[in-house]
Every structure is written in structure tokens, then in C-alpha cells.
Chain A
């Protein structure tokens, strides 16, 4: 019985979420976009996540190179560390890690901001002032996610490759020029494209979940904490599960 109720509530919530997404999408399609708000959000969200994304990416690239050095030496393929680092980051790690970090920093920020506005009647006040709160508060945040996350992923890839380079050159004694050349040669358009398909999907997912949860927050300050946590948890699950499906689809069509 409890499971039936849970499923019913889950489906009802999904339906409300879909309507909310369509409302925001409708604003964009009708050109009701506040570009000033979008640029402000791009700046806010970018600044929030940039440093932590760089740290995580640098560490990921460095660890890949450290592990690669040990493992690939077993097969006498130490010179392929550059390819291992670059392809792992571009195709898989940077999009996923950056999306996870972005959910935890900027996504949580979006949910908490909108949640606080919701419990303090500021969203209702927007309506009483004759302004559509979805157009004013939600659309700029969702569009900013679409711009910021891909930029952060590019930064993550570059910083991650740099982390791998430092380890490969100083620990594995790979010649610097050789490492750079191998990195440039191994990344093809298709690798970049595979990563970016995922990034855009994750950006939509994070923007949607965090705005939706924040917009419909209730229950005072306790509610803000609960809804924000739920938003981040849903983003994490959504990113990891959808990444599996997207990877399978991408490999089916562009596997080579």
C-alpha cells in the first residue's frame, strides 16, 4: 500500500515537474527571456563552481596519470598515458564530475535561493506585482545552467589534462612535447561531441530539478534545507543513471 502511494506521489510530482518545465520552455520559445538576468546568473553560477571544478579536475587528471603509469607499465605501454588521461577526461570524467560538482554548488544555490524566496512569499509577491515568476526567476537560472556547465567542462578538461601532464612528465618521465602531441592527436571531434551531448543533457536536468524543487519549497527554513538536499540528491541520481544510458546510446551510434 505504501509503495502504491509512493509511486502515485512520484508520478504526480513528475507530472507537475513536466508542466513546470514546459512553462519555462514556453517562455523561451515565446522570446520572454530577461537577458540581463541570464548574464547575472551566468556570472554567479560560474563563480560559485569554478574553483572547485578546477581542483577536482586537476586531481582527477593527476590520479589518472598516476594509476596509468603503474598499470600501463605492466603492459609496456607507459607512453600511452596521455591518451588514457585525455580520452577518459573528455569522453567521461569531466562531463560527469563537473556536473556532480555543479549540482552540489550551483544547483544547491539555485534551489536554496528559490526556496527561501518561496517560503518568504517573494514568489507570490512577484505575481502580485504583475510579473511572471517563472519568466523572472526560473528562465534566467535554467538558461545560465546551459551556458555555464559546458564552459566549466571545457575548463575541467584543460585543467585535468594539465594535472595528467605534470604527473606524466615528472613522475613517469614522459617527454613534455611528446605528451602534448599525443594529447592533441588522440582527441577527435567525436570524443568532444560525445562529452558535450552529455553535458547539455546534464545542464537541462540540473536546471530543471533545482528550479522546480526550489520554486515549490514549503515548510519554512526546515523546508528549504529539505528541498535543497532533495534537489541535489535527485541531480546526483539523475546524472549517474542518465550517464549510463547516454553512454550506451552514444557508443551505439558513434562508438568508433
Chain B
């Protein structure tokens, strides 16, 4: 479903990603872990075509993202849900308007149908009844949930989550991690999460990849990573 080959990106001569290869199977949940500044967010921005790579190819659901022009990218992005680290909800819209925004933009649905779908999505993320609130009236966890509902509004089969637990307390972090896992399974999404929260990464993902200096230091399920003898991986997981 997601295939990355030889992905490289440098800023001011410093390599953030250095020939990264990555495969995520359809329906799989992969967590990309690593310390801050190891290129996790850069990887996600490149996957969705918001930042062009210096080298390498990205293929998502059979589409070579790196070959697309800006207008084609706008169309392609409708197939991918993206959850931002800071939620990125429009602060001039209510939760209901935020979640309904992609539906209004890209579907011929009538307002009544959009309202129904929005209520369904809000119920799915345990936010039924909060549709009339503005993002500023919500807690960090609720904003993430609302943003998750918006990311899934178009029924995308690929979900990219940038640090979904950052800024949340341990209980809310656990809840949002479990919610992402539950929804990915229920909707059959291929999900890629970037995080440095080891515990929640294993709670959510089928496999995890540890990035070190722009390269994959280790990749596999929890037991494989825990058995790694790579000093960096051992130290990071500790």
C-alpha cells in the first residue's frame, strides 16, 4: 500500500533522511519512532506531497506521489487522511463544520446528508454532542479526536498521523492511541504513525521502525525490536 525507496532529504547540507526504504502492507499499522529531529515529520510531509524529496520515490495505493504536479496532488490527497500534531482544526469553524468541510468540498452530498455523516463520524470518535463547539472550547484530546474524524471523513484508506499523542497526558495518550488502532482496523486503513512515545507506539502499531540519522536502525514487531542488539535501538527503547 505504501512503498518508499531511497528517500533522502537534506536541510542546509544536513541530511535528515538518508536513502530510507519503507513498505507498509494494506491494512497494516506502522509506527515510525525516533528522537526529535530524525526526520519523522519530514517523512510524513513527503508522503503526502507537501515537501518534495531530494531523491527517492514514494508510491501510495499505486500512485507515484513524487511524479504528481500540484493540482494532481490536491486530488490525490483526498484518498489520504492526515492527522496533524497540533490538530490544525480551523478555529473559525465549529467542530461540525470542520468535520464536514472535506465532505462539502469533495462530495455532492446535500447538507442533511453531510450532517448525518458528521454525526456518525463524531460518534465514532466519542464526540457526539460536541459538534457545535469551537476548537478553542475543546481540550487537547478532544481536538485530536475531532481532527481524526475530519481526517477520516472522506473514507480514506490511508491514514497518516503525526505525533498523535504529543501534548496529551498519559491517559489521553493511551485513549487516542487505542482509538487510532480501533478505527484503522474497523475501516481497514493502512496507517502510519510518527511518534517518540514508545509505549503507545507498541500499543497502536503492528510493527515499528526506529529511525536513526535518517536511516532505519531496526524494524519489526515489538518482540523483534526488544531483542535488537543495536546500541541506539536499545537505548531508545529503554
The residues of A with any CB-CB pair to B shorter than 8 Å are 113, 116-117, 120-122, 124-125, 127-132
Contact = CB atoms under 8 A, between A and B. Distances in A.
B106 A130 contact: yes
A130 B91 contact: no
Contact of A120 (B74, B76, B86, B102): B86
A125 B148 CA distance: 12
Interface string B162-174: 0000000000000
Nearest to A135: B74
B83 to A, nearest CB: 9
Given A113-B92, A122-B89, 8 more contacts: A121-B84, A125-B88, A125-B90, A128-B48, A129-B77, A129-B78, A129-B102, A132-B74
B133 interface: no
Contacts of A122: 88-91
10 contacts: A113-B92, A121-B85, A121-B86, A124-B50, A125-B82, A127-B50, A127-B77, A128-B82, A129-B78, A130-B75
B101 interface: yes
Contacts of A117: 90-91
Nearest to A137: B90
B70 to A, nearest CB: 8
Nearest to A116: B91
Given A128-B77, A128-B80, A129-B77, A121 B105 contact: no
A129 B105 contact: yes
4 nearest interchain CB pairs? A125-B88, A128-B82, A121-B88, A130-B78
Contacts of B150: 129
Contacts of A121: 84-86, 88
Contacts of A129: 77-78, 101-102, 105, 150
B114 to A, nearest CB: 14
Nearest to B106: A130
A130 B88 contact: no
A130 B82 CA distance: 11
A48 B172 CA distance: 40
Interface string B31-75: 000000000000000001010000000000000000000000111
A127 B73 CA distance: 9
Contacts of B106: 130
A54 B6 CA distance: 62
A122 B101 CA distance: 13
A16 B92 CA distance: 28
A108 B47 CA distance: 35
Contacts of B73: 127
A241 to B, nearest CB: 34
